[in-house]
Amino acid sequence: MFNLLKTAILMAAITALFMAVGAMIGGQTGMLIALAVAIAMNFFSYWFSADMVLKMYNAREVDASSAPQFYGMVRELAQKAGLPMPRVYLIDEAAPNAFATGRNPEHAAVAATTGILRVLSERELRGVMAHELAHVAHRDILISTVSATMAGAISMLANFAAFFGGRDENGRPMNPIAGIAIALLAPLAASVIQMAISRAREFEADRGGAEISGDPAALASALDKIHRYAQGTPLPTTEAHPETAQMMIMNPLSGGGLRGLFSTHPSTEERVARLMAMVRR
């Protein structure tokens, strides 16, 4: 219940940020338009964002005949988790990563890159897909997809403010310096909100994935391996759409220093440490 309340507050915050940017561009009228757009986007995201994200990554759906081992693994894990069988997708990218999406467990999809299938052992891959199914079971998938859509819209709106300016309710042009500040700070604020939504959920999905697979050590090993491989292998779609990075099991955009402070994922070291503590228990 606490996580649900926290998520509701954070989603309200990202909607309020969207409205605030609208107000800076067009005053009260801009704020009301932004509110209407936010409501429409949340409605659209609820019904269509999963397919939109899968299409964005050129994901191809597979089944028991086209990818028997991978599909069979997901089916077995879904049965262990007591979940409906999700749609299963592969993404032809060398970077090792995976994500889950959909509006609820009955309309869920899991996707993995071909790179992760090559890099991980069968045990490690089971841990990763169990992690994604834990997101489905915890109903994280809708929140992550909607927040990604909203964060992307905030970035576009902020860029519009920087390049084309805006007007207040009295029709006065917006200060160009204010426009540049919006372009820089609004996406950063959206990222901070996404980070708050995502970090706690990743720990819960690690724990849930370890319980579904029954092998926390394998998931810990997978996370460590993905972290090492992903650093030298870019994921172009995520680079082009950074708001989707928080959906991945490992943020491919994470880095050291200031950038790492705003990562939507906890540190790999801490995630591995928690999983190994489960092994010892």
pLDDT of residue 258: 44
Q: Is 93 annotated as a binding residue?
A: no
For the segment 14-34, the average pLDDT, to the nearest whole number, is 76
Q: Categorize the per-residue pLDDT at 175 as very low, low, confident or very high, splitting at 50, 70 and 90.
A: low
Across 56-67, b (16+ Cβ under 10 Å) vs e yields: ebebeebeeeeb
pLDDT in tens, 263-272: 668 899 999 9
Query: Is the pTM for the entire model greater than 0.75?
Result: yes
Instruction: Report yes or no: 101 and 87 within 8 Å, Cβ to Cβ.
Output: no
Contact, 130 vs 222, CB < 8 A? no
Among the listed residues 76, 132, 204, 211, the single catalytic one is 132
Q: Tell me: the pLDDT tens digits for 222-249?
A: 999 999 988 778 899 998 888 788 889 9
pLDDT per residue as tens digits for the range 51-89: 989 999 999 999 999 999 999 999 999 999 999 999 999
| Distance between CA atoms of residues 169 and 28, nearest Å | 6
pLDDT tier at 143, thresholds 50, 70, 90 = confident
For residue 135, say whether it is annotated as part of any ligand binding site: yes
Q: What pLDDT is stored for residue 199 in this prediction?
A: 72
Q: What is the pLDDT of residue 233?
A: 87
Which parts of 165-267 fold into alpha helices (H)? 176-213, 216-230, 236-240, 257-261
Residue type, 215: D
Residue 177's pLDDT is: 63
Task: Check whether 106 is labelled as a binding-site residue.
Answer: no
Does 132 qualify as catalytic in the annotation?
yes
Residue 44 pLDDT level (bands cut at 50, 70, 90): confident
For residue 113, the SS3 value is: strand
Q: What is the pLDDT of residue 56?
A: 94
pLDDT of residue 183: 64
pLDDT at 257: 45
